[in-house]
Amino acid sequence: MRRCLTHALVAVAMTAPMSALAQEDNCPPGAWFCEEVEPPRDPAGEPPPAAAAPDDAPVEALPPPPAPPPPRPKRATRPAPPPVVVYQTSPSGPPPQVIVVAPGAAPPPRVIVRGVTPPVPPPPPRRRWRRQWGVNFRMEGLMMGREHGGAEDAGMGGVGISLRYRPVPAFALDLGADFLAGTDYNGHDRTEVPLSLSGILFVNPRSRTQFYFTGGLHIAHADVEQSWSGAAAGAEEFVPNTEYDYFGAHGGIGLEFRLSRRLALNIDAIGFVRGRTDDGVIPEFRDPETGRTTDTSGGGLFRGGLSIYW
């Protein structure tokens, strides 16, 4: 057995130098014992090969990945604030407010503008009527018919004053006194003082211009001075001074213009009729054509005046 091992070792030792010689010589093509060797490269044209790390070099351990941060606790979410409601009562108002929000600040609350119709104000309280007293100053003219023998220059005029009480807006009482002077129907000089009590009915008492009806009763006293020529021409008994007393009724229409709560102007036209109440036996009026006599007379008054109320 030792011989076999010796022969094997000798064979191996002889084979090794022959392999080296074969590598150094050019190998014939197709030889089975030749290896394919790449042609030698120019060491100046190529970079030196990187040194390979030995297989048994120790491998450096990579650091472990960092642990994830613990989760943050969730904040308690606050409910969104309710919107701010602005009630705009009129279209004209202050300019809208400008809100500047800095970065990171909480957003401003929502603002809702709602138009609100202002309530209708209550009607003003009705002014309660307060009874009024007043005084009326007036000027007046008397119109007399000239037919049936009336004097051509007949005409009288005068002034008057009356106390007026108005308990309700549509009605007033008027107590007046007047003074008239001039030439009467027969052409004699006459002065007369009537006293009257009248009622005044206002058709539109709440207007500034008020239309009214008036009517009432009156008494009057007249002084007449006859001239001798006038008595002779009328074939009447001459009585130098004569007094007459009358009682009658009157009525008419008028307008009152309210200048203010306390001042008013008025115009009216009054017709009257009356009869004598004295004990005279001589008739006052006589128609020269027919000879008829009468103690009843009438006429018209045009008046204009100023009333002061309180």
Question: What CATH number is given to the structural domain containing 138?
Answer: 2.40.160.20
208 is a domain residue: yes
56 is a domain residue: no
Neighbours of 182 (CB within 10 A): 17
Neighbours of 98 (CB within 10 A): 5
Instruction: Kindly report the three-state secondary structure assignment for every residue of the chain.
Output: CHHHHHHHHHHHHHHHHHHHHHHHCCCCCCCCCCCCCCCCCCCCCCCCCCCCCCCCCCCCCCCCCCCCCCCCCCCCCCCCCCCEEEEECCCCCCCCCCCCCCCCCCCCCCEEEEECCCCCCCCCCCCCCCCEEEEEEEEEEEECCCCCCCCCCCEEEEEEEEEEEEEECCEEEEEEEEEEEEECCCCCEEEEEEEEEEEEEECCCCCCEEEEEEEEEEEEEEEEECCHHHHHHCCCCCCCEEEEEEEEEEEEEEEEEECCCCEEEEEEEEEEEEEECCCCCCCCEECCCCCCEECEEEEEEEEEEEEEEC
The confidence score (pLDDT) of residue 152 equals: 81
Which residue range forms the structural domain that includes residue 163? 132-309
242 is a domain residue: yes
The confidence score (pLDDT) of residue 130 equals: 80
Domains of the chain: total: 1
18 is a domain residue: no
Please say whether the beta carbons of 278 and 229 come within 8 A: no
The confidence score (pLDDT) of residue 70 equals: 76
pTM above 0.85, yes or no: no
CA dihedral 55, 61, 62, 64 (to 10 degrees): 150
7 is a domain residue: no
- Each residue's pLDDT tens digit in the chain (310 positions)? 555 555 555 555 555 555 544 444 455 555 444 555 555 565 555 555 555 455 555 556 667 777 777 777 666 666 666 665 555 555 555 666 655 555 565 666 666 666 667 778 888 777 776 899 999 999 999 987 666 667 888 889 999 999 999 999 999 999 999 999 999 888 889 999 999 999 999 999 989 999 999 999 999 999 998 865 554 445 455 566 789 999 999 999 999 999 998 999 999 999 999 999 998 888 888 877 788 888 999 999 999 999 999 9
116 is a domain residue: no
Phi and psi dihedrals of 16, rounded to 5?
-65, -45
The confidence score (pLDDT) of residue 235 equals: 47
The confidence score (pLDDT) of residue 21 equals: 46
Could you identify the residue written with the tokens 């108005």?
166
110 is a domain residue: no
81 is a domain residue: no
